Structure 1
Amino acid sequence: MNRSSKGLLVSALVVVVAMAFRVSWNALRDVARVIGADATAAGLYPFVVDGLMALALVAALVLTSMRDKRFALRVLAAYTLASLVLNYVHGLVPALHDGAAGWGRLADWDPANWALVLLATSLPVGSIYFGCELVAKVLHHRPTVRVQTDSVRADAPAHPPHTVTPPPHADLSGPPPLTAAPVPGQVSRGAEGVRTGDPHTPRTARTPDPDAEEEGDRQDQFEEAELERMRQDARRTYAESAQANRPLSARALGAAYGMSESWARKQILAARGSDGLAGPHLVAVGST
């Protein structure tokens, strides 16, 4: 729908609401006169009831919190029902329009009359309270920042293309090497799907990624270096304890390094072989 159509629709809605308010204004003014309002107060009474209905409707459209929106809709429903009841009473009692009705008489049955008078006199007080509450909720309303977040994401710069930097000792005097343009992911995936779907195209075995192999080799070398460092530390610890005449047992050495007893026994043997820490041995003495 274009802008002119929207403007025409809103204008028609305003005209219909204005005419409906004029019809309701006649009934509410007569009810206000019966409950004791003067001419000025009776003329303003319809604005108190129907005006708060319009305010509650606007607040329900503006507020985004479900709790506040539910409150505005409840106020709108309550005042709509109250206006409907008073308009209905005005239609049933023609004396209200002629001014022949008695003071404070909206119905012949006393309980109904008391309820109607209580309803008509409480609507202005309720308008003050509910109107202030709705305005406060609208003024303290904070719009969501979802649109701002999306705009920030949209304005964020794209990742720069990958560039290959030459090694520090490369010869830059010759012509620059030719580099292939990066292929987008969607295009490459689409082309790969076409190649694999062609029955006449020979299938080639996948070659492992060299980067992954190098990373695995580096990880293995690192783990082996850590194990070797642990072995050297264990041997040094045993050698120091042996020099202090308090050699550690295989169980104690393995527990100190979180390893098994057999692993610790191997390190003890290696430490004895490297440092010449031989255990006590018997020497045969010949007779002279």
Structure 2
Amino acid sequence: MNRAGKTLLVLALVAVVGMAFRVSWNALRDVATAVGADETGARLYPFVVDGLMALALVATLVLTDRADKRFALRVLAAYTAASLVLNFVHGLVPELHGESVDWTRLADWDPVNWLLVLLATSLPVGSIYFGSDLVAKVLHHRPIDPANAEKSTQIDTERSTPDVVEPASELAPVLVAPVAIEPPKQVDSPAEEEPTDRVAVHTVAAEQSTPRRATGRVPEAARSARPRRSADELLAEARQLTESWPVEQLTAEGIRKALRTSPDKARTLRETLRAERTADAVAETVSVA
């Protein structure tokens, strides 16, 4: 529908509502006069009832909070029913039209009359209370931007969604090819023999699961299953490995790389091996002499 059509529709609605209010205004004015309102109060009484209905309708369209919208709808329904009852009583009691009815007498049966008088006199007080509450809710209402609402919903969804644990794939062994480690060569002594012994790193079968983010220290189960060697085993392996090495090549770095051990243990092995070489050299010299 174009703009002109919408404007025409709104004007027609306003005209219909205005005529309906004029019809209801006549009945509510006579009822207000019957319950003791003066001429000015009787003329303003229809605005108290039907005017609050219009205010509640606007609040229902403006408010987005579910509780506030429900409250506005209840006020709208209650005052619509009250206006309908008073218009119905105005049609049943012809004396109200000519203002010949007794004061505060809207029905012949006393209980019904009391209820009708209570209803007619309580509507202005209810309009003050409910109208003020509705206006406060509308003034404090903050419209929600659709883009921000969608973003907030997405963030809440991501926060409330638990981390999905991926199923572990089948454990597949990873083979490491043998690597030959040679002792370091001395550049200044080309005549010295090159060590013939080489250490082969055995093939290690490692079990791997699906890649995951590093969370700190690697657990023991994820480490390679290399047996720990004692000090005597390391010394025996170092003797066998460096048997053909000259003394100058007995460095901590060379021993560490060859034995794949820690720097501290490599330095200890270096001092031990050098001490043994020195002791053997002294013994050999003494025996020759």
Deviation at 1:267? 7.5
Unpaired segments ≥5 residues, structure 1: 152-219, 222-256, 279-288
Matched, 1:65 2:59: no
Matches within 5 A, 1:87-236: 87-147=87-147
Give the aligned partner of residue 269 of structure 1.
233
Q: TM-score normalised to the size of structure 1? A: 0.56
Provide the C-alpha distance between the structure 2 equivalents of 1:117 and 1:54, rounded to a whole number of angstroms: 23
Q: TM-score normalised to the size of structure 2? A: 0.56
Which one-letter code corresponds to 1:18 in the other structure? G
C-alpha offsets along residues 238-287 of structure 1, whole Å, 9 cap, x if unaligned?
xxxxxxxxxxxxxxxxxxx8889971137862344332769xxxxxxxxx
C-alpha offsets along residues 30-52 of structure 1, whole Å, 9 cap, x if unaligned?
00000000000000000000000
C-alpha offsets along residues 130-186 of structure 1, whole Å, 9 cap, x if unaligned?
0000000000001112246789xxxxxxxxxxxxxxxxxxxxxxxxxxxxxxxxxxx
Larger Cα-atom Rg: 2
- Which 4+ stretches in 1 moved above 4 angstroms? 148-151, 257-262
Provide the C-alpha distance between the structure 2 equivalents of 1:51 and 1:261, rounded to a whole number of angstroms: 85
More helix, by proportion: 1
C-alpha offsets along residues 202-224 of structure 1, whole Å, 9 cap, x if unaligned?
xxxxxxxxxxxxxxxxxx99xxx
Matches within 5 A, 1:43-62: 43-62=43-62
Unpaired segments ≥5 residues, structure 2: 152-174, 177-219, 239-268, 274-289
Deviation at 1:9? 0.3
Mark the CA change 1:11 to 1:271 in structure 2 (over 3 Å): closer, same or farther: farther
Give the aligned partner of residue 239 of structure 1.
none
Which one-letter code corresponds to 1:54 in the other structure? A
Provide the C-alpha distance between the structure 2 equivalents of 1:4 and 1:260, rounded to a whole number of angstroms: 80
Provide the C-alpha distance between the structure 2 equivalents of 1:108 and 1:149, rounded to a whole number of angstroms: 58
Provide the C-alpha distance between the structure 1 equivalents of 2:71 and 2:150, rounded to a whole number of angstroms: 30
Which one-letter code corresponds to 1:60 in the other structure? T
Aligned Cα root-mean-square deviation (Å): 3.0
Secondary structure in 2 aligned to 1:264? coil
Mark the CA change 1:265 to 1:3 in structure 2 (over 3 Å): closer, same or farther: same
Count how many residue pairs are aligned between Structure 1 and Structure 2.
Answer: 177
Provide the C-alpha distance between the structure 1 equivalents of 2:84 and 2:109, rounded to a whole number of angstroms: 20
Give the aligned partner of residue 80 of structure 2.
80
Which one-letter code corresponds to 1:48 in the other structure? V
